[in-house]
């Protein structure tokens, strides 16, 4: 599988390769509650406090679960860039998306003497103690994809704000509904959610933001199962749960799968039950390769994602950068090789009410997102 470069990804999206708004941070300092930027007067290409070089550092790159196309693609990007940047990425995880498995991996990597962790958490509270112990041991902790508690990590590399991603999920559903003759503005659309777990930070934040957007924009819609369906990032369970959704609500209009395991599982369930894109709308987030066949079969109209390879690479770079002793604050900028100038954002840019430490704590935002259809899906290979 060839890795999609950031430049090609942006070109295919029809946007220029411009500065990525992000924050690179380390742990420490007191708390504040700014909103995205600070009073910092730093405007240079690198306004952080210089420390050492990333060369020679080792970062443990921890996914929620191994064997998933999204996380494997993120690792491909991290490995490719880390080789150029001169540090080592140790991709290590477990085939089950559980708190106990992640805690075991965290403890194992800290004991092995890595310089930093970059983790997508299964459960922020569940891994909290292990991450605190890692920090106490002198290991830099950063997150990507699914955040830890902000006080337990240095930096979060986020795919977007909950409002952006929640709206994206709903908008994709609306487009799919319209394609088969529904009127989302006036019809009493029935829908539900199918994703990984109630404890996963990122997916739950998108769900909450999307529900708010639906209530404000499509008040006639009805969530037929407000408790949601969860398949715990288990591929087989995603199919079983997907079939259960269709058994319970055979005439449902829309199923939103904001999880890269749930979406292909739900699509397989739909095919097993004889549905297609003309009889049901299913959408969500997943890598293009994991869904292309279902799109070719006429089961799904559209779905979305972002450049997970770049996200993984940036998360690992941030962790290595902090491990080298560099320090930044909200509003500072740093130049990441192959990416460009990057700005530190406050934690409340992705989590309402979250505080941000005065130094070395914050968020990276990826601005690029993409909607896949049969017309463009073969332009991507990840």
Q: What is the DSSP string of 181-220?
A: T--TTTS--EEEEEES-TT-HHHHHHHHHHHHHHHHH-TT
CB 313 within 8 A of CB 80: yes
Q: What percent of the chain has pLDDT over 90?
A: 78
Query: How far apart, in whole angstroms, are the C-alpha atoms of residue 234 and residue 246?
Result: 18
The reported pLDDT for the residue numbered 265 is 98
The reported pLDDT for the residue numbered 5 is 37
- Domain of residue 33: give its range: 6-160+307-369
Strand, helix or coil for residue 246:
helix
Kindly report, residue by residue over 25-84, the tens digit of the pLDDT: 333 334 444 433 333 333 334 556 667 899 999 999 999 999 999 999 999 999 999 999
Residue 382 within any structural domain of the chain:
no
Residue 116 within any structural domain of the chain:
yes
Residue 377 within any structural domain of the chain:
no
Do 201 and 325 fall into the same domain? no
- What 8-state DSSP symbol labels residue 375? T
Do 322 and 294 fall into the same domain? no
The reported pLDDT for the residue numbered 48 is 63
Kindly report, residue by residue over 119-130, the tens digit of the pLDDT: 999 999 999 999
Domain boundary among 287, 305, 323: 305
Do 295 and 333 fall into the same domain? no
CB 78 within 8 A of CB 89: yes
Kindly report, residue by residue over 345-380, the tens digit of the pLDDT: 999 999 989 999 988 899 988 868 999 999 999 999
Mean pLDDT, rounded, for 330-337? 81
Residue 379 within any structural domain of the chain:
no
Residue 323 within any structural domain of the chain:
yes
The reported pLDDT for the residue numbered 47 is 55
Task: Please enumerate in sequence order all residues whose Cβ is within 8 A of that of 14, keeping only pairs 6 or more positions apart, or say none.
Answer: none
Kindly report, residue by residue over 239-269, the tens digit of the pLDDT: 999 999 999 999 999 999 999 999 999 999 9
Average pLDDT, the chain: 88
Domain boundary among 255, 285, 305: 305
Do 12 and 67 fall into the same domain? yes
Is pLDDT at 179 greater than 50 in this prediction? yes
Residue 50 within any structural domain of the chain:
yes
**What is the largest distance, in Å, between two alpha-carbon atoms of the chain?**
60
Do 322 and 297 fall into the same domain? no
Ranges of H-type helices in the chain: 6-13, 69-85, 99-112, 128-136, 162-179, 201-217, 235-248, 262-272, 288-296, 308-323
The reported pLDDT for the residue numbered 210 is 98
For 302, phi and psi rounded to 5 degrees?
-150, 160
Do 11 and 135 fall into the same domain? yes
Do 212 and 130 fall into the same domain? no
Is pLDDT at 91 greater than 50 in this prediction? yes
Mean pLDDT, rounded, for 300-322? 95
The reported pLDDT for the residue numbered 70 is 94
The reported pLDDT for the residue numbered 338 is 87
The reported pLDDT for the residue numbered 360 is 87
Is pLDDT at 312 greater than 90 in this prediction? yes
Is pLDDT at 288 greater than 60 in this prediction? yes
Do 205 and 155 fall into the same domain? no
Do 98 and 65 fall into the same domain? yes
Distance of CA 145 to the CA centre of its chain: 3
Do 252 and 233 fall into the same domain? yes
Mean pLDDT, rounded, for 137-150? 97
Mean pLDDT, rounded, for 215-229? 98
Kindly report, residue by residue over 204-219, the tens digit of the pLDDT: 999 999 999 999 999 9
Do 103 and 148 fall into the same domain? yes
Indicate yes or no: pTM above 0.85: no
CATH number, position 215:
3.40.50.2300
Is pLDDT at 161 greater than 80 in this prediction? yes
- String of DSSP letters for 28-70: -S-EE--SS--S----SS--SBP---STT-EEEEE-SSTT-HH
Q: How many domains does the chain have?
A: 2
Higher-pLDDT residue of 6 and 351 is 351
The reported pLDDT for the residue numbered 23 is 35
Residue 57 within any structural domain of the chain:
yes
Mean pLDDT, rounded, for 10-26? 33
Place of tokens 């777990």: 197
The reported pLDDT for the residue numbered 333 is 78
Do 75 and 173 fall into the same domain? no
Residue 375 within any structural domain of the chain:
no
Task: Please enumerate in sequence order all residues whose Cβ is within 8 A of that of 265, keeping only pairs 6 or more positions apart, or say none.
Answer: 231, 235, 236, 237, 238, 239, 241, 242, 257
Higher-pLDDT residue of 155 and 332 is 155
Is pLDDT at 203 greater than 50 in this prediction? yes
Domain boundary among 269, 284, 305: 305
The reported pLDDT for the residue numbered 17 is 29
Q: What confidence tier does 228 reach under pLDDT thresholds 50, 70, 90?
A: very high
Give me the torsion for CA of 169, 175, 181, 183, rounded to 10°.
70
């Amino acid at each position: 599988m060839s890795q999609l470069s950031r430049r090609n990804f942006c070109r295919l999206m029809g946007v220029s390769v411009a500065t990525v708004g992000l924050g690179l941070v380390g742990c420490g300092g007191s708390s504040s509650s700014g909103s995205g930027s600070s009073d910092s007067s730093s405007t240079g290409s690198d306004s952080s406090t210089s420390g050492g070089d990333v060369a020679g550092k080792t970062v443990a790159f921890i996914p929620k679960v191994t064997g998933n196309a999204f996380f494997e693609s993120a690792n491909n990007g991290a490995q490719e860039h880390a080789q150029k940047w001169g540090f080592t990425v140790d991709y290590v995880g477990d085939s089950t998306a559980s708190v106990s498995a992640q805690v075991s991996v965290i403890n194992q990597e800290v004991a092995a003497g890595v310089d930093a962790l970059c983790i997508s958490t299964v459960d922020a509270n569940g891994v909290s103690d292990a991450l605190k112990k890692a920090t106490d041991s002198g290991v830099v902790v950063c997150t990507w994809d699914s955040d830890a508690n902000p006080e337990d990590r240095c930096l979060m590399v986020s795919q977007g704000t909950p409002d952006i991603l929640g709206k994206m999920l709903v908008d994709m559903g609306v487009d799919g509904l319209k394609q088969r003759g529904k009127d989302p503005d006036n019809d009493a659309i029935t829908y539900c959610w199918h994703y990984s777990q109630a404890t996963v930070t990122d997916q739950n934040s998108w769900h909450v933001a999307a529900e708010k957007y639906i209530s404000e924009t499509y008040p006639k819609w009805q969530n037929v199962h407000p408790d949601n369906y969860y398949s715990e990032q288990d591929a087989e369970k995603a199919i079983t749960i997907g079939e259960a959704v269709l058994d319970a609500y055979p005439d449902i209009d829309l199923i939103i799968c904001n999880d890269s395991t749930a979406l292909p599982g739900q699509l397989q369930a739909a095919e097993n039950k004889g549905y297609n894109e003309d009889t049901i709308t299913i959408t969500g987030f997943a890598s293009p390769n994991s869904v292309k066949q279902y799109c070719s079969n006429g089961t799904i109209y559209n779905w979305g994602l972002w450049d997970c390879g770049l996200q993984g690479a940036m998360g690992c770079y941030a962790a290595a950068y902090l491990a080298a002793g560099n320090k930044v604050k909200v509003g500072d900028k740093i130049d990441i090789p192959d990416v460009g100038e990057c700005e530190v954002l406050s934690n409340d840019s992705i989590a309402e009410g979250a505080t941000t430490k005065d130094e070395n704590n914050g968020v990276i935002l990826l601005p690029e997102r993409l909607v896949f259809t049969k017309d463009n899906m073969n332009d991507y290979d990840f």
